[in-house]
A and B are shown apart, each in its own frame.
Chain A
Amino acid sequence: MDMDKLIEALRVKIVEILNLPDVTPADIPLDGQLVGGELGIDSIDVLEMVIMIEKDYGVVIDNKELGAKVFASLRTLAAYIQEKSPGLAN
């Protein structure tokens, strides 16, 4: 899967699972702060995203230190999934 498609897929999933009011997929910035910023995404949302990423991509993010790096931005998240996912050909 190419990176752009992965990023677009993540945008859609994030809005859907987090039930963010008045946020569309396009509102999620590629490089801006993903957690703790204006979108209202917090630590509980991170845990929901962790579950989604493990379920949909087979990538495990099982501790907070790793999570803080991976969820820095949408780009870092997509890059980590791209790198680790057994189902995504590099």
Chain B
Amino acid sequence: MSEVPIYIAGLGAVSALARGTDGMLQALLHDRCGLGPLDLFPVASEAALPVGQVDLEDDAGDPLPRTHRLAGLAADQTMAEDPRPLDAIVLGTTTGGILTTEALLQSGATDPAAFRYHGLGTIAEVLARRCACRGPLITVSTACSSGAVAIALAMALLRRGLARRVLAGGADSLCRLTYFGFKALQLIDPLGARPLDRERRGMSVAEGAGMLLLTSEAQAAGAPQLLGAGLSCDAHHATTPHPEGRGALAAMQAALADAGLAAGEIDYINLHGTGTLDNDLAEARAVSALFGERPPPLSSIKGATGHSLAAAGALEAVVAALAVSHGLAPANTGLTNVDAQLKLNPLTVPLRTPIATVLSNSFGFGGNNAALVIGKDRTRAKSSTAARPPLTIAAAAGLTGVGHDQATWERFAAGGDCAGCLDETTLCQGLPPRTLRRLKRLPKLALALAAQACQGVAPEGLPAAISLGTAWGALSETHDFLQRLFETGQQFPSPTDFIGSVHNAPAGQIAMHLGARGANVTTSGGDASFEQALLAADLLTDDPGQSILVVGVDEAQPVLAPLLDPSVRNAPLADGGGALLLRRGGAPGPTLSLLAYGHDTGPEAVHHLIESLGGARAIRETCGAVLAGIPAAHAAQAARDLAAFAAASGFDGPVIDYRRAVGQFGAASAVAAVLALRMVQGQAVPAALAGGVECPLEGKGVLLLGLGPYLSAVRIALP
């Protein structure tokens, strides 16, 4: 097996402590605390809570929301020494443009153009323009582990040889949603976060951005490396960690195994250490279970930076790299008297000592856990460029306005209109009422899809891992939380709505429903959200027999969907999605291959796409039909690219504009994947979709072509 070390060739850090890694290092060396008062938006309550706010001047002339600007600053720092174009960007975020959106909604704004940077995926798009990246963009939203999960996926891209230079990290800005949301959950320490302290009362909400330039290109000796990553899911509770830290332990064990290290070889542990009662206790138990009574030096920096949510895992990966380069283990800022129950001895002052390996933990809502290992150069680097068996489709289910899988297929195959919003009673048939009582539309759609796809699957065949793509996340919960926040003068927003508002809440519900304790990833990149979930699923399944449930789902919240999604604006409200149970290898059956995915359009991009598919002749020989994803807002560009594809490939089979039938919503391509599977299984394109005469596939597959700002190609075919 060839070795592919993953080098850290650039760092960027923007936090309440400093703008830049030099400032961050100085702050950590001197154990400074960056927490202070909030002044981004007015807080009605007399007792304002301390936050970790970045020193970033207001720029009324900049149309970009604050998260985008924080991410841009960190990216510029990271790329300063080596600004050559990037192959890919993997970014974690939970807030996107929400701070701007909140102000717009409060002022009653109705111009959709004002909301154009709301989507989580727009940050990576802005960075892609800034850093000349035409390759894949992945936006990860797994709450407070987002930044670390993004880095783990970036590592997989590099190990696979799918990229040589990847910008990876996380960014989040302070906003009303997180400030008042965590307050409603009583998870904020009114005196500022004191992680691991016996008097601790919670976290301090913060903002920031952390970035790493990861590369497989050899670097100078001594450059820090990303040695391993491990992901897991508690599958226990929407917000509370498993009391024994079961998922935390699994993620740390997986990261160590991935790095080829024993627990005793770790020199410093950067704890997640938020300062909440439950997190710190569960994490301490997991650390003790893995490291025994004498763990290496350890600390949480969240008493200094606050908890910058999606940025945290990335900022702490930067700290891990600085720890290795500068021989510094930071202090557990804010700690006065350690909680004896934790049985840990966190560093009370910064420790100067040679450090070769760091384990960095990040855990999030939904029980989403990630652990990274960063260290000095090693020779035992893992590679996964060896050939893998294809992903086979073990089961699938689609859902549209006309009903569940069978109803959707029958209407679609007859050339009918499936677009609409399925009534809640039909939608929720067979789902447990106690689970449903707190869920709004998106998690219900997601659970219905997962339950239907996994119906009849033997217990040993159920997936351990989940990858879910959603363009807009839980719009109902987000809308309802903000509406009540505004209506009650910031007094009484619903904690349940806040918990449900995170993009990864639906995937967390699926994990609990199926008992899926493996990697659990949620991606969000506009109309390519499902394709991003497919790419993540591909990256997360290296070993034969591994299975993963891939879901694409979006909801049509009547106020927000038309404001946020330009394709929804002039179309009837429609929602739904699709779920595919994929297995690496597995029983012979239909296979799914993500053959192309990039952030680019135009003739040259179409040419690259055709090359990725093996050339014009291969397309004609292997594809019997094309399901074209044409978002209404990008119809003109999509039509040009589709025409260029037909001209360059010579493909003359049926081309079906499926959004006309299933409706305009972000995850429509997930429905299309399930419909394509039906055609492949039946080896024919129904007459109504093929110009009036059934079109046999003659052993060929069906190509899903994603058009618009992202070009993608997915082939579903018999082996």
Chain B residue numbers with a CB within 8 Å of A12 are none
Given A44-B239, A44-B496, A64-B277, answer yes or no on A51-B437 (Cβ-Cβ < 8 Å): no
Partner of B186, one of A18, A21, A22, A62: A62
A50 to chain B, nearest CB (A): 7
* CB pair B488 A50 closer than 8 Å: no
CB of A55 within 8 A of chain B?
A: yes
| Other-chain residue from B185, B201, B437, B488 in contact with A18 (beta carbon distance below 8 A) | B437
What's the nearest-Cβ distance from chain A to residue B44, in Å? 14
Residues of chain B within 8 A (CB-CB) of A55 are 488, 491-492
Judged by a CB distance under 8 angstroms, whether B184 is at the interface is yes
Q: Are B437 and A21 in contact, CB atoms less than 8 angstroms apart?
A: yes
Chain B CB within 8 A of A90 CB: no
Number of interface residues of B (CB under 8 A): 21
A72 to B185, CA, bound (A): 19
Q: B434 at the A/B interface (Cβ < 8 Å)? A: yes
Q: Contacts A20-B437, A21-B433: A48 and B186 contacting too (C-beta < 8 A)? A: no
Interface residues of A (CB under 8 A from B): 18-22, 40, 43-44, 47-48, 50-51, 54-55, 62-64, 67
Which residue of B186, B239, B488 contacts A63 across the interface (Cβ within 8 Å)?
Answer: B186
Taking each of B436, B491, B492, B495, which has the highest tally of chain A beta carbons within 10 Å of its own beta carbon? B495
CB-based contact A47/B434 at 8 Å: no
Contact A22 B239 (CB under 8 A): no
* Residue among B277, B494, B499 with most chain A CB within 10 A: B494
List the count of A-B residue pairs having beta carbons below 8 Å apart: 42
Q: What are 24 A-B interface contacts by the 8 Å CB criterion?
A: A18-B437, A20-B437, A21-B434, A21-B436, A40-B434, A43-B240, A44-B238, A44-B495, A44-B496, A44-B499, A48-B494, A48-B495, A48-B496, A51-B184, A51-B492, A51-B494, A51-B495, A54-B491, A54-B492, A55-B488, A55-B491, A63-B201, A64-B186, A67-B186
B493 contacts across to A, CB distance below 8 A: 51
**Which residues of chain A have C-beta atoms less than 8 A from B185's C-beta?**
47
List A contacts of B437 (CB < 8 A).
Answer: 18-21
State whether B434 touches A44 (Cβ < 8 A). no
A19 and B201 contact, CB distance less than 8 A: no
Q: Does B130 contact A (CB under 8 A)?
A: no
- B493-518: contact bitstring with A at CB < 8 Å (1 yes, 0 no)? 11110010000000000000000000
Residues of B530-588 contacting chain A, CB below 8 A: none
The smallest beta-carbon distance between A26 and chain B, in angstroms, is 19
Q: Is B84 an interface residue (CB 8 A)?
A: no
Return the chain A residue nearest B238 by Cβ: A44
